[in-house]
Homo-oligomer: A and B are copies of this chain.
Amino acid sequence: MRPFTAPQLNPATETGWRRQWFDIIYRHDTRPSRNFDLLLVYAIIASVVVVMFDSVQRFHAAYADWLYVLEWGFTIVFTAEYLLRLVVVKRPLRYAFSIWGIIDLASILPTYLSLFIPGAQSLLVVRALRILRVFRILKLTRYIEESGVLMESLWRSRRKVLLFLFTVITITIIAGTMMYVIEGPNHGFTSIPSSMYWAVVTMATVGFGDIVPQTVLGRFVTSVLILIGYSIIAVPTGIYTAELANTMRDAEHAARRDARGCPHCGLEGHEPDAVHCRHCGEKLPPVFNV
């Protein structure tokens, strides 16, 4: 994603329509470029809605032709956009092999492939990935800052979460094996992987009820698993909340720390109650309206 935080114009075409389209597609601060972004968001959402509608038997039976036309319409629009991006940017291959480039390509290819491979129903999944493209546009709005705080907290807590995930998988394996032995295939615990699926569903408090313990021992183990699992599965919330509170306090702290620079050595970032520079000892100017 990094290459596209600041994509560069193709230098061979500094002027003319390419220059104009580059500004429209890659910049986000002019009126035409904003309209382009908005149009794209609408087109993406509409195309995903079409995919959804097409999967409903009733709508498919009634409007198959219309939905087929719409699908092709969106595909052509997105193809045009994809080609335009390639033509206009300085290093087309870098775009083509970036995450966004691959998603862009993946969201148009299935329609063309369905011409050759008949029952390509499974390509539906790929088309739904189009919705991810909305994030690219969103990324450039004011949500980026909020997203930054959320992401930094997730990043800070990554090791704790990995440790947690490994613990959960371990408990899942042991609980799954135990229940497979206790309940057995007759009660729905047909294999260890099935039992592990049940253990995940139970520990995360989803509890579908398709597989259920029926023996007394099985129910006791389940109760213990739920209580243990519940305590453990609460941990990521705790981790994340604590990290988020930390990130937010740091941000606030940084904002609150006054902006006074030392008149002698220039050091900034003094505590609000500082009277002297902590580096050279020079008297600091007083704080106004803090």
In Å, the complex CA distance between A57 and B190 comes to: 8
Q: Could you tell me the distance in whole angstroms from the C-beta of A61 to the nearest C-beta in chain B?
A: 12
A55 and B192 within 8 A (CB)? yes
Interface residue from B147, B246, B273 paired with A278 (Cβ < 8 Å): B273
Query: A105 in the interface, Cβ–Cβ < 8 Å?
Result: no
In Å, the complex CA distance between A138 and B277 comes to: 46
A interface: dominant SS: helix
Q: 1/0 per residue A135-151: CB within 8 Å of B?
A: 10010001100110110
Interface residue from B173, B191, B222, B279 paired with A267 (Cβ < 8 Å): B279
User: Which residues of chain B are within 8 angstroms of A201 by Cβ–Cβ distance?
Assistant: 207, 222-223, 226
User: Which residues of chain B are within 8 angstroms of A244 by Cβ–Cβ distance?
Assistant: 238-239, 242
Query: A170 in the interface, Cβ–Cβ < 8 Å?
Result: yes
Interface residue from B121, B223, B238, B240 paired with A235 (Cβ < 8 Å): B240
Interface residue from B164, B170, B230 paired with A131 (Cβ < 8 Å): B170
Q: 1/0 per residue A271-290: CB within 8 Å of B?
A: 11111111111110011001
Query: A266 in the interface, Cβ–Cβ < 8 Å?
Result: yes
In Å, the complex CA distance between A57 and B277 comes to: 75
Interface residues on chain A, number (Cβ under 8 Å): 110
Copies in the complex: 4
User: Which residues of chain B are within 8 angstroms of A238 by Cβ–Cβ distance?
Assistant: 153, 237, 240-241, 244
User: Which residues of chain B are within 8 angstroms of A249 by Cβ–Cβ distance?
Assistant: 246
A280 and B276 within 8 A (CB)? yes
In Å, the complex CA distance between A206 and B201 comes to: 9
Q: Given contacts A178-B125, A266-B286, are A204 and B192 in contact (CB under 8 A)?
A: no
Query: A165 in the interface, Cβ–Cβ < 8 Å?
Result: yes
User: Which residues of chain B are within 8 angstroms of A267 by Cβ–Cβ distance?
Assistant: 273, 275, 279
Residues on A lying within 8 angstroms of B by beta carbon are: 48, 51-52, 55-57, 121-122, 124-125, 127-129, 131-132, 134-135, 138, 142-143, 146-147, 149-150, 153, 159-166, 168-170, 173-174, 176-178, 180-181, 185, 190-194, 196-197, 200-202, 204-210, 212, 216, 219-220, 222-223, 226-227, 230-231, 233-246, 248-249, 252, 265-283, 286-287, 290
What 8 pairs across the A-B complex have the smallest Cβ distances?
A: A276-B281, A274-B278, A206-B207, A209-B209, A238-B241, A55-B192, A128-B177, A234-B237
